[in-house]
Amino acid sequence: MKISLELIAEKKLKPLFKDPLMLPFGRYFTDYMFTMEYSQGQGWQNPCIKPHQPLVLQPSANVFHYSQEVFEGQKAYQSKKGEILMFRPLENARRLNRSLQRLCMPEIDENNFLQAECELLKLEKRWIPTQKGASLYIRPAVIGTEAALGVKASSEYLFFIILSPVGPYFKEGFNSVSLWVSDTYSRAGSGGTGEAKTGGNYAGSLLATREAIQKGYSQVLWLDACEHRFIEEVGAMNIFFILNGKLVTPALDGTILHGITRKSVLELAAGLGIQAEERKIAIEEVIEGIQSGKLTEVFGAGTAAVISPVGKIGYQGKDYLVNEQRTGTWAQTFFKTLIGLQYGEIPDRHGWVYKVQ
C-alpha cells in the first residue's frame, strides 16, 4: 500500500508534554492522523497520513444515526534502546475485522492495517513516552459515512487512526478500584453485539456507569442480560478472580469482548505457576468467596487499564472488600510481566512484541 504523506512544517509541530504520566486519558493528540476511504465497487483507497484535524461529514452520515462504528485500542511503547514496540498488533487487526463483519462493514487487510500504524508511529516517534507507565495510545476506528437516512449498511466508510500520549487509565493508578455490580442494566445480550468493539456498546453502558460513579464506585461490573447472575466484564476491561488458588475468568460466550490482555494473562498463567479456568461465575460465588476467604484477589485486564486491582465490590446495597483493598500478588505479577514485555524489558518467549521498523 502506498501511503501519501502531507507534512507539517517543523515549527508548527505541537510541543510535547513534560510528564506524560500526569496526562488524563485520551485528551491530547499528536500532530498527524491516518485516513483511508472506502466506497462500494472501489474498495479501500486513498491511504494518507496528514495533520490531525476535524472530520467533515454530512449530518445524514450513517454513523450519526445508525451507528456503524467499530474501533480498536492499542498502545505503542518505547524501549530503553529507543525501539518502538507494539503488543500483539495482529490480534487487534483480526478483532477489528471481526467487529467490522458483525457491523456489516468492509474488512481491512491486516497487513495494510499494520503498515498504516507503523508508518504513523515512525513519523510520531517523538510522542512515544519513555517513562514506564506512559505510552502512546493508538485509536483506529471505522465509521459509516454515506449520507442516507434509510436503515441499511453504508456504502461509504472512513478508516482513521489517531494517537494520544497517555498515563494510567484510572486516576487510582495501580491502586485498587471499586466496582458496582448492576443487577438491572445489562451491557449485551445473547446474539447482540457484545463481543464487537463498537461504540454502541459503550453508549449503552454510560447511564449505569454514571450511577456507579454517583454511588462512589469507579466502574460497573456487568452481569449477564438474561438472569443478571453471571459475571461478564467491566466497562473497559475483562475481569479475573483468584478463587481457590486458581485464576478464574468468565468464558467467552458472545457477549463479552475478546480482550487481548485477557488472552495474554491466560496464556501467561501456566508459566507463572497458576492454573487458569474460563467458565461461568455467578455473583453469589464471588460474594461467598470473599466472605469465606476462598476469593483472594480480583483484577481487571485491558490495554488502557493494563492490570487494575479491584478492592471493593458493591452489590445490592452492600460493599464487599477484597484483599483489604490492597493490590494482590497475582495482580502485581501479571502487571509486572505484561509491562516488562510491552517495554521490551523481559525476554519475549511468546513472540508477542512487535518492533516497528
Sequence-ordered list of residues with C-beta below 8 angstroms from that of 34, at least 6 positions apart, any chain: 3, 47, 48, 49, 116, 117, 119, 120, 159, 160, 161
Sequence-ordered list of residues with C-beta below 8 angstroms from that of 141, at least 6 positions apart, any chain: 69, 70, 71, 72, 159, 160, 161, 162
**Cβ 122 to ligand COI shortest distance, Å:** 21
304 contributes a contact to ligand COI by CB under 6 A: yes
344 contributes a contact to ligand COI by CB under 6 A: no
Among 145, 238, 308, 323, binds ligand PLP (CB under 6 A): 238
Q: How far apart are CA 137 and CA 179, in angstroms?
A: 24
User: Dihedral angle at the C-alpha atoms of 349, 354, 355, 357, nearest 10 degrees?
Assistant: 140
Specify the residue, 167 or 259, whose C-beta has the smaller distance to ligand PLP: 259
| 3-class secondary structure, 202 | helix
Specify the residue, 36 or 236, whose C-beta has the smaller distance to ligand COI: 236
Specify the residue, 73 or 140, whose C-beta has the smaller distance to ligand PLP: 73
Task: Please give the full DSSP string across 249-274, using - where no structure is assigned.
Answer: EE---SSS---HHHHHHHHHHHHHT-
Report which residue type is found at 4. S
233 contributes a contact to ligand PLP by CB under 6 A: yes
Among 221, 260, 281, 356, binds ligand PLP (CB under 6 A): 260
237 contributes a contact to ligand PLP by CB under 6 A: yes
Total binding residues for ligand PLP by CB under 6 A? 12
Total binding residues for ligand COI by CB under 6 A? 5
Specify the residue, 68 or 303, whose C-beta has the smaller distance to ligand PLP: 303
Q: How far apart are CA 193 and CA 197, in angstroms?
A: 8
By rule CB under 6 A, what string of x and - marks binding of each residue 205-244 to ligand COI? -------------------------------x--------
| 3-class secondary structure, 89 | helix
Residue 309: in which H helix or E strand, if any? strand 306-315
262 contributes a contact to ligand PLP by CB under 6 A: yes
Chain residue at closest Cβ approach to ligand COI: 73
Among 219, 303, 327, 342, binds ligand COI (CB under 6 A): 303
224 contributes a contact to ligand PLP by CB under 6 A: no
164 contributes a contact to ligand PLP by CB under 6 A: no
302 contributes a contact to ligand COI by CB under 6 A: yes
Q: Which residues pair with 161 in a beta bridge?
A: 34, 140
Grid cell 498504516 is found at 116
283-322 positions binding ligand PLP, by CB under 6 A: 302-303
Q: How far apart are CA 53 and CA 69, in angstroms?
A: 19
Q: Which residues contribute to the site for ligand COI (CB under 6 A)?
A: 73, 236, 302-304
